[in-house]
A and B are shown apart, each in its own frame.
Chain A
Amino acid sequence: MSQSPTQPQTQEQRVQEFVAEFQQLRSEVRKVIVGHDDVVAHVLIALFAGGHALLEGVPGLGKTLLIKTLAESLDLSFSRIQFTPDLMPGDIMGTNMIVEDETGRKHFQFQRGPIFAHILLADEVNRATPKTQSALLEGMQEGAVTSSGTAHPLPQPFFVLATQNPIEMEGTYPLPEAQLDRFLFKLRVQYPALEDLTEIIDRTTQVREVNVSRVMTGPRALAFRELVREVPIASHVRDLAALIVLASHPQWERAPEQTRRFVRYGASPRGAQALVLGAKVRALSEGRYNVSVEDLRAMALPALRHRIILNFEGEAEGVDVDRLIAHIIESAENLSAAEKEVFLR
C-alpha cells in the first residue's frame, strides 16, 4: 500500500500515486475477471467520482463477481443484498429493537442493516418493490439513514454497485427514471469475446487459487476523491459538456433531429455533473491534470445512457441509446464549431 496522503507531497506525486493505485486496482480485478476492461475502469471511475454505478447485463456475465473482487481489493467493508420482492426497507436500513441492558432495563436500540458498509452490492435491484428500492436510493443520495427520527450516517466512502437483468422482466419492478438518475453511471456488461470466454473456461474449471490483494484504504479513496475535484477544466470543454446535455433535450431549439424524433426526456443537470466528474477521474487516471474533450466523449455513454428516455417512436424503432448519444455528441461538436470562423473550427 502507498504512503499516506497526509504526508507532504507535490501535486505531481499525488497524481502519480493515484495513477499507480488506479492501475493496481484494475490489475487486481483482472486477476479474477476476464475482459470487461471498460466496465472495470468505469466502476473505478464511479468510485473515485463519488457516485454509484448500475451494472446491467444478462445473468452469468460476472457482474457480481466483479463487484466482489473489487470489494476485496479495497480495504473496505462490503455487504451484499440480494433483492427479492419480499425484501422490506428495514431489511436494508436496519430497525429499532428492544434490548435489555446490564441493569435489566429495556430500551430501543437501532440495529444497523446491511446498507451500513463501504461497498454495497445490491444484486438484482429491480426485483425489490419500489418501497424498498426507494429506501436504498435515499441512502445513496443522502449518505445517511433515518430511523425513528434519528439520522444514522453511512460510512464513507459509501459506494453502491447495483445489478439488474435487462431481459427478464417478469416479476420485476424497473427502476423509475428519477431513481435511475441517482446512479452516476449505468454500465452495460457485454458478452465476452471468444478469447475472453476461453480464458474464463480455463480459469474457472481448473484448480487455481487466486489471491486478491487489498490496494487501497477508505481514507485514501476519499483523498483521491478530493484530488479529482481539483482537476481543472477549460471553458470550451465545459461548454461542450453543457452542449451535449442540452442536445439530448428534444425541447431545446437547437437539438439535433434524432433527439427531436426519438427522445422524450433528456439528461438532467446531474448528467452534466456525472459527465464532467467522470471526465476528471479519467484524465487523472491517465496522468493528466486537466480534462480534455476526449474524456468527455469517453464518459458520455455511461453518464448519459440511463438519463435519456426514449419516446414511443424511439422504443418502437428500437433506437439504441448508445448510438443516439454518439450522434448527440457529434451534433454538439458541430454546433460548437458552426458558430466559429472557418479557421477556428
Chain B
Amino acid sequence: MPDVTVLKAAVADVSRQIRVRRAEFYGLRGLFGGALVALLPLALRDSLGWSGFLWAGACLAAGAAVGAAAGYFMRLPTGEAARLADRGYALQDRIATAIEWADRPDRTPLVDALVADAVARVEAMRGGRIIPRRIPREARFVPVPLVVGIVLALAPAIPLPQGALPSMSGTRQEDEEKMQERAGSLESQDRPNAAKREEARRAEVQERTFGPRAGAGGPSQPGDLSAVFKDTALASQSSDFNAFLKKGDERIRMLEQIDRLPDLQRDFTQSQQRMVFQKAKALKGGLKGDPSYQGDLNEGMEALEGGQSDRAMEAMERALNKLRAMEEKGRDGKSLRGGREDERRSGRRGERGPGGSPGDEGDWPEGEGSLPGRGKSGSPKGDPSQRLRTNPFDVGVEGEARAGRKDGMDTNLVGRGGSMPSRLQYLGVLGQYRKQMEEDIVREQVPRDYHGQVKDYFKALDER
C-alpha cells in the first residue's frame, strides 16, 4: 500500500490553517454580536452600577471567544482539506485523489504512481500559508457598537423611569370591604329580590379626589344614567388621572343600581303589543263577513291583553290567512287567466257537455271568445302544451294593466313562484309574438279557418 503519510501531514497542516482562519472569521462575527449585547449592560448602568462595565466587557469577550471556538472546532472533512491543499499548492487535485484512492481496494496500479508523484511534489514545496484570511461582513460594523458603547460608558448613566406601578395585587378582604362600602349606600332597599351582582375585583387606587372637575358639565346626580354616556369629552380636559378614576367609580356605582335601569326588552314588547292590539281592533271593526276569522281575531286580542304574545301572534296569523283567502275568493274573473281557479277545478267545462270546446258558441258570442278583454272563456288558455302536461296549473300569472297606454302589465305569479313578483315586458315581447304569428301563418302552421281569428286577436291587442 502506498505511503501517504506525507500527504496526510500536508493536509493536516492545511486543516490547521483552515481552523485558524475560521477561528478568526467567526471570532470577529462573535465579537460583533457580543458588542451589540454589551450595549445593554452599559445602557442599564444606572441600575447595574460599575458592574455594567464588567458585564459589557464580559459580553464582548464571550462573543469573540464563542465565535472563535465555534469556528475552530467546526467540522472539517479531510477530503475538503485535501482539495484546498491541491488548490493552494496548484497540484491539480493530486493530493485529494491520492489520499482518496490510496486506501481503496479497487485502486489501479496507476494510483501508486500518483501517490509517489504527489508525495514528491509536496515534499518539494515549502510549506506556507495557503488559506487566505477572510473578513466577515459584520466585522466592518464592529466599530459602530464599540463607539456607541464608549459613548454610553463616558456619558452619565441613563436614568430609568422611577415610581411603582399601581398595585394590582390587593387582598381579597380589602376588596370585599371596599365593595361593601361602595355599594352599601347606593343599593336600593326596595329591591329585595334583585339578583346580587358578582363582586368585581378592583384596583386599589390611592389619593383620589372626589371633587367635581371644571368643564365637566356640572356634577352628575347618583342614578342619572345619562351622565354615564354624556361626559365623554375627555380629550378636552386636562389629563387628571385621579379625576378619571373617580368618574369611572361613579359610573360603576350608577350601573350597580339595577332597579333604576330601564327594562328595554319589556318596553319594546309592550309597545309592539299595543300597536298590534290597536290594529287588530280596527280590523275587527272594519271588516264583516266570515265569523271564523273574527274568532281568531278575538282570541288574539285576548291573548294580547293577557300578555301571551306567542299565542296572540299565532291567532293573528290564522286570522290574516283567512282574510287573504277571502280576498282571493273575491277576485273572480280578474286574473289574466280569464276565469276562476275553483270554477275550472270544479269542472265547469264539463257542464257544457262532452263535445264542448272553447270555440263553442254556447258560451260566448262568435268572434269574441278568444279576444282579450272581450267575453269570457272557461278555458282561454286551451289545452296544456306538452311541456306543462304534468301540472298545467302549477304556475300562473295574474295581474292588471298598468296606468298609461300599452306600458306594460303588472303581474303576480301564483303557485310556486308566487312569492316573487315580476313584471311582464309586454311591449317587448308583443312584437316578437306578432312576427312569429305572421311566419306561422305563412308556413301554414295555423289552420286556414283560424287565420282571421288570430289576426283579430293581435289587432285587439294593438287597440288596448
A-B contact pairs, 20 of them (CB 8 A): A12-B113, A15-B113, A227-B110, A232-B107, A232-B108, A234-B79, A234-B96, A235-B79, A290-B93, A290-B97, A290-B98, A290-B114, A291-B97, A292-B93, A294-B92, A342-B134, A343-B18, A343-B131, A344-B18, A344-B76
CB distance from A12 to the nearest CB of B (A): 5
A291 touching B93, Cβ below 8 Å: yes
Excluding A230-B109, A288-B117, 5 further A-B contacts by CB distance (< 8 Å) are A232-B97, A232-B107, A234-B96, A289-B113, A343-B134
A289 touching B79, Cβ below 8 Å: no
What are the residues of chain A within 8 A of B111 when measuring CB–CB? 232, 289
8 Å CB interface, B46-88 against A: 74, 76, 79-80, 83-84
B364 within 8 A of A: no
B101 within 8 A of A: yes
B366 within 8 A of A: no
CB distance from A233 to the nearest CB of B (A): 7
CB distance from A111 to the nearest CB of B (A): 42
Q: How far is the CA of A234 from the CA of B79 in the complex (A)?
A: 9
CB distance from B129 to the nearest CB of A (A): 13
Q: How far is the CA of A230 from the CA of B97 in the complex (A)?
A: 13
Q: How far is the CA of A86 from the CA of B224 in the complex (A)?
A: 116
A236 touching B110, Cβ below 8 Å: no
Q: How far is the CA of A10 from the CA of B117 in the complex (A)?
A: 13
Cβ contacts A265-292/B at 8 Å (1 or 0 each): 0000000000000000000000011111
Interface of B is mostly: helix
Given that A237-B93, A288-B92, A293-B93 are known contacts, is A341 also in contact with B110, CB under 8 Å in the complex? Answer: no
CB distance from B77 to the nearest CB of A (A): 8
B305 within 8 A of A: no
CB distance from B17 to the nearest CB of A (A): 10
Given that A235-B100, A236-B83 are known contacts, is A341 also in contact with B74, CB under 8 Å in the complex? Answer: yes
8 Å CB interface, A284-320 against B: 288-294
CB distance from A9 to the nearest CB of B (A): 10
B134 touching A289, Cβ below 8 Å: no
Interface size on A, residues (CB 8 A): 25
In the complex, which residue of chain B has the Cβ closest to the Cβ of A227? B110
In the complex, which residue of chain A has the Cβ closest to the Cβ of B115? A289
A343 touching B93, Cβ below 8 Å: no
8 Å CB interface, A195-237 against B: 227, 230-237
B32 within 8 A of A: no
A340 within 8 A of B: yes
B94 within 8 A of A: yes
Residues of B within 8 A of A (CB): 18, 21-22, 25, 74, 76, 79-80, 83-84, 92-94, 96-98, 100-101, 107-114, 116-117, 131, 134
A11 within 8 A of B: yes
CB distance from B48 to the nearest CB of A (A): 37
CB distance from B72 to the nearest CB of A (A): 12
Most chain A Cβ neighbours within 10 Å, of B84, B117, B134: B117
CB distance from A62 to the nearest CB of B (A): 32
B110 touching A232, Cβ below 8 Å: yes
What are the residues of chain A within 8 A of B110 when measuring CB–CB? 11, 15, 227, 230-232, 289
CB distance from A345 to the nearest CB of B (A): 9
What are the residues of chain B within 8 A of A12 when measuring CB–CB? 113, 116-117
Cβ contacts A107-135/B at 8 Å (1 or 0 each): 00000000000000000000000000000
CB distance from B9 to the nearest CB of A (A): 19
A340 touching B98, Cβ below 8 Å: no
In the complex, which residue of chain B has the Cβ closest to the Cβ of A342? B134
In the complex, which residue of chain A has the Cβ closest to the Cβ of B91? A292
What are the residues of chain B within 8 A of A289 when measuring CB–CB? 94, 110-111, 113-114, 117
Q: How far is the CA of A130 from the CA of B327 in the complex (A)?
A: 95
10 closest Cβ pairs, A-B complex: A289-B114, A230-B108, A292-B92, A11-B113, A290-B97, A234-B97, A230-B110, A292-B93, A232-B101, A234-B96
Q: How far is the CA of A63 from the CA of B166 in the complex (A)?
A: 97
CB distance from B134 to the nearest CB of A (A): 7
A290 touching B94, Cβ below 8 Å: yes
What are the residues of chain B within 8 A of A10 when measuring CB–CB? 113
In the complex, which residue of chain B has the Cβ closest to the Cβ of A287? B117
B92 touching A342, Cβ below 8 Å: no
From A231, A234, A288, A344, B84 is in contact (CB under 8 Å) with A344
Q: How far is the CA of A213 from the CA of B367 in the complex (A)?
A: 125
Given that A232-B101, A232-B114 are known contacts, is A343 also in contact with B107, CB under 8 Å in the complex? Answer: no
What are the residues of chain B within 8 A of A236 when measuring CB–CB? 79, 83, 93, 96
Q: How far is the CA of A78 from the CA of B22 in the complex (A)?
A: 60
B97 touching A343, Cβ below 8 Å: no
Q: How far is the CA of A341 from the CA of B73 in the complex (A)?
A: 13
CB distance from A276 to the nearest CB of B (A): 13
B113 touching A234, Cβ below 8 Å: no
Q: How far is the CA of A227 from the CA of B109 in the complex (A)?
A: 10
In the complex, which residue of chain A has the Cβ closest to the Cβ of B136? A342
Q: How far is the CA of A292 from the CA of B87 in the complex (A)?
A: 11
Q: How far is the CA of A233 from the CA of B94 in the complex (A)?
A: 9
Most chain B Cβ neighbours within 10 Å, of A11, A289, A291: A289
Q: How far is the CA of A189 from the CA of B407 in the complex (A)?
A: 90
What are the residues of chain B within 8 A of A11 when measuring CB–CB? 109-110, 112-113
From A230, A294, A343, B21 is in contact (CB under 8 Å) with A343
Q: How far is the CA of A237 from the CA of B109 in the complex (A)?
A: 20
In the complex, which residue of chain A has the Cβ closest to the Cβ of B113? A11
Q: How far is the CA of A230 from the CA of B96 in the complex (A)?
A: 17
What are the residues of chain A within 8 A of B74 when measuring CB–CB? 341
In the complex, which residue of chain B has the Cβ closest to the Cβ of A284? B110
Q: How far is the CA of A294 from the CA of B112 in the complex (A)?
A: 22
Q: How far is the CA of A290 from the CA of B114 in the complex (A)?
A: 7
